[in-house]
Structure 1
């Protein structure tokens, strides 16, 4: 892989922790093939999600923007630690969604009124050009749905969590100083692990880390970044369309050793990634997709994973790592030299 391409591709489903962590050692198992790992890694989900970790969710701050009866309902909800988001749609019953559940749970029988939506908007503040807002000092994300006339007719109130314990799944990869691309569908935890990686690289590895935080999801809302990113610096982005410009500005003005950026999706952002990597800066980013095949079919992103894509297109089988935890919550790495086209 050349210098402008991300060398590590991680498909990384994550789940909310249920027990306190240690930082368990990596235990490697050799699968079919062996040899040095040069391809992609897939981090598999854990049984029942019980892999360990410490969670800070500031849930009370999010509940404050909700109507009082919904707030009281959720305060007494036994699964509130697994709350993923609250949906407020005009003329529909409010709904709570939980980690690991495919459906939702109605919070009351009556529908959301226009006044309740307006009250929630006032509690949150101004929405940006991406129709996202936050709650200052927290990691929560509030996203708006608007009518054709621009009126807010729905809110998605997503719980933001700072999690300690995710990074040990990939901690060894941080020593290689190579760029990493996390691949996964929305909501699996890509941003959560990026946040902890930023802290570890800045505080433990003593790297100069700059986060390009387009929607303030990594560093939280407000001018002072959330403590979860440690000593990493954060550059906010005025409009989503300017993300690629701020990425280049970060490198040109602030001399980072590591640049972290969420949701790479446009051609301009992919070009900015290549430019950053060509300057010798480690880039850690995320992109949406279920598996490597999604990247192959996406001309905008395919060259960010150049080596693995080229090997597959030429009928070769890159080495793949499957990372999971055993019943003692130690990270187990299995290496495979086969690829069936659907497993990554």
Structure 2
């Protein structure tokens, strides 16, 4: 199937705004700007300075790379070894319309390609998208669609996606709150939204290492336990650069994020690591936790939380009314 026909198949997911009217964006030879002849570029105007800086940063970093993924079988094995991604794969329905915002090199999107899901993988980094598209072509995966798009100008129809995920991305944008709103708009009522953010308190040790990295550069890996476990030099350099030399990040608290949910009409489902119970399905609604300062601080005593740079994931379901 030609690239053009692939995108013609899913053109109804898109719209563009012309004089405040919504018009379908038909992907033909006249208006389809392609990167490397296969990846649609929907960024028509210049990016703001910060977004452009982040785009250039990840063009160089290309995190994560495919050193440990020779084919789809090895990528899938990697995915099921991670409990979080394994459970997403197990619980997402057949044929789900999925958006991954900030897909990077696309490994999660490609992992979730089973089950005839339609997966739209959006990023602002040409280099990262090219890596993901190369793997997609080599492994003949037809239902993952890589594209360059700005979170603040998403070209999708409103209320379109069954499942929207942005894991470790919003805190690298100029306005995480506004970016979250963009995700809610394109998620259908009853659809699931998953976001992963840096924890304000859990990022303390990483912040110290970031200051040291200004002096040590990539040699900061000698002081980082996670980096020392990475065997591939290229993958280690990508991790170190992403964690300690990143030009922009913001820090957040689960209580703040839950307030975003309330303001945008998103029902709380799960908070990891705080309220997740491994015996329950990932998307089964939990009782909303009471997040005092003490409770949010106690999240940090989960050692994985500290080693991974103070990361938390919150899951919600967009209200139907």
What range is the shorter-chain TM-score in?
A: 0.3 to 0.5
The structure having more radius of gyration, on CA atoms, is 1
The higher relative CO (CA closer than 8 Å, separation ≥ 6) is in 1
The alignment's TM-score, normalised by the length of structure 1, stands at 0.35
**Going by fraction, where is strand more abundant, 1 or 2?**
1
TM-score (norm 2): 0.37
Higher-helix-fraction structure: 2
